[in-house]
Amino acid sequence: MIPAVPATVDGGVHDGAQSANAPLLPETSLKGQRPPARQKRPSTVLPAIAWTVLLLALAGLVVYRQGHGGGQAAAPGDQVAAAGRVVEVAASRGVVQGVSEKSTAPALLGGGAYDWTNAMLAWQRTAFHFQPQKNWMNDPNGPLYYKGWYHLFYQWNPDGAVWGNITWGHAVSRDLVHWLHLPLAMVPDHWYDINGVWTGSATQLPDGRIMMLYTGSTEDGVQVQLLAEPADPSDPLLRRWAKSEANPVLVPPPGVGLTDFRDPTTAWLNPADKAWRIAIGSKNQEHAGLALVYSTEDFVHYDLLPTLLHVVQGTGMWECVDFYPVSAELAAGVGLDTSAAPGPGVKHVLKASLDDDRNDYYAIGTYDPATDRWAPDDAAIDVGIGLRYDYGKFYASKTFYDPVGRRRVLWGWIGESDSERADVLKGWASLQSIPRTVLMDTKTGSNLLQWPVVEVENLRMRGKRFDGLDLQPGSVVPLDVGRATQLDIEAVFQVQAGAAAAGSVAAGAEAPYNCSASAGAAGRGLLGPFGLLVVADDSLSEQTAVYFYLVRGADGKLSTHFCQDAFRSSRANDLVKAVYGSSVPVLTGEDLSVRILVDHSIVESFAQGGRTCITSRVYPTKAIYDSARVFLFNNATNVNVTAKSIKIWELNSAYIRPYPDSS
């Protein structure tokens, strides 16, 4: 085994305090200090279609040393989780009920099931990502800040680890990291939401009142919009909610399908007539995705406006539409309230979650309050055909404006990539992303920047640093970082420009590169891939590669791709393993930089200060507990790379737990 490179600096234990070392990459700065009985519901369990989960038949490519082996034998004292159990799963969930697919079964290929052990499944539970204590979770709903507490509501199934019986779970936090579970906020207990309390958004009025609009699925499966308000506005925990006597406040308008009308946005105040606006996602008969716009003064009575906020042909049903302003001013560094007036220095972001491919797309453009229309700055990268929040496992996202931090914060649902059978065995499914700040990238002027909220850095404990490590073509360098399942990694790479130019000129232009269609980190090119291997075992039989890949085009210019490869993340076979990624803008004079958050079965990566982001779910069988490792690698054939600076911190647990009196 290659000896691990020792760190040049060992920061020691910080007791959760932020590292004294200056952070490598941009971050949101916060100024000032932050203020420090369940209802019984009817069961609507849907009959599952019994079938055998299909094996994933992806070819097992090995990057450096050793191919995929057979099944992992149980360790002494460990037991196969499914021993003696019959687990029924479904071929599909959610589509028949009028929402996007909620099962991984259609994406799995082959047949059979892996013998997961209890220890393997227990390791997958995260330490600092938000998740309920048990069962299924999906979309984040109605996030807001109220009287000293951050609130997160979310789609939850109180009855099991698969989609169905959707209620609203609820949790609160002082810092967006340490969460406390509260009793259910809303349950399906009326005819208008008996088949599900679905996605919604919160609007805080100038007088402090909260209007929570959400989609309900009626007893006939029709999607309608509903209003709820806090039953006790004096309660900072917002533990009780009252549904409006006027519900449903909106029903599908003529020409809109009964199951194509969902997910109202946070409202914004139109400066032209001082009335509120909301947008709702839908599609037309030509399969164009669109956002309807309604006007209201009291959140009970609404007028459908004659114009659409926006429409894009061929994009299909728009779910979880989000619409908000961002500052285009240089060095602004702050977020904007949803009702910030359009004008010089203000752009608007329109985002839609596409039912067709279950990815979140956004575009930056201009909102005209006189016509209630929005237009993209660049039609070639319009909503649904251009930029994405995240090029991995990330969907149904929702932002809110944090008035304390003066920032816009983004949440995203991170689903599973394993089988439904495995989820039932472990008793839970899905996570929320680390909350991210969102800013306009004023350097490029064409994309957003996403970055973990600064409070995450308070989880940093032991820190190690490695400087100036040379990576020759074909090399793998282990890093001595100790425990490697809860990490915050910041890395900067430099490519030897002279050698890169000479090699590319000699070989001519390379073929275009696509992360998702590539062989991942195993596919060698002149100028890539190179980066880090995380959640890896000593023999590299399991590894998740986070890497850059450079390509010189026919015009002689370099393009940079940022990718995350889970092909070799596990020896198990009942998983969806993929290479995710996209191109990332790199400006003149910039080094290549990446931040990686590793939290057991989730890897979130942010390239070039958050211009391109990737999230993967990984389920190793060997690279778990004390066997997880971190490596640097350079699998390019014709370029030397220097790891200019690598900083790695072990992260503490967020100790997410029930609120003390929430029973």
Catalytic residue numbers, as ranges: 139
Task: Count the alpha carbons within 13 Å of 602 in the hemisphere toward its beta carbon.
Answer: 25
Residue 560's alpha-carbon distances to 168, 332, 511, 514, in angstroms, are: 41, 27, 13, 11
Contacts of 43 (CB under 8 A, 6+ apart): 159, 165
Q: What does the buried/exposed string (b/e) look like for 421-430 if buried means 16 or more CB atoms within 10 Å of the residue's CB?
A: bbbbbbebbb
CB 252 within 8 A of CB 223: yes
- Cα(323)–Cα(271) distance, rounded to whole angstroms? 16
Cis peptide leading into residue 248 (ω within 30°)? yes
Contacts of 42 (CB under 8 A, 6+ apart): 188, 189, 194
CB 618 within 8 A of CB 126: no
Residue with tokens 């992992």: 72
- Cα(200)–Cα(190) distance, rounded to whole angstroms? 17
Residue 160's alpha-carbon distances to 135, 136, 142, 168, 346, in angstroms, are: 5, 6, 23, 14, 44
Rounded to the nearest angstrom, the gap between the alpha carbon of residue 14 and the centroid of all alpha carbons in its chain is 28
DSSP state of 244: -
Extract long-range pairs of 253-259: CB within 8 Å, 24+ residues apart: 253/292, 253/304, 255/284, 256/282, 256/292, 257/282, 257/283, 258/98, 258/221, 258/222, 258/223, 259/97, 259/98, 259/221, 259/222, 259/223
- Cα(483)–Cα(600) distance, rounded to whole angstroms? 11
Q: For residue 207, what are its two tokens?
A: 């007088």
Instruction: Tell me the three state secondary structure of residue 500.
Output: helix
Length of the chain: 663
Best CA proximity match to 578, nearest among 565, 569, 589: 565
Number of helical H runs and strand E runs in the chain: 3, 37
What are the respective helix, strand and coil percentages of the chain, to the nearest 5? Answer: 5, 40, 55
CB 248 within 8 A of CB 216: yes
- Cα(491)–Cα(633) distance, rounded to whole angstroms? 13
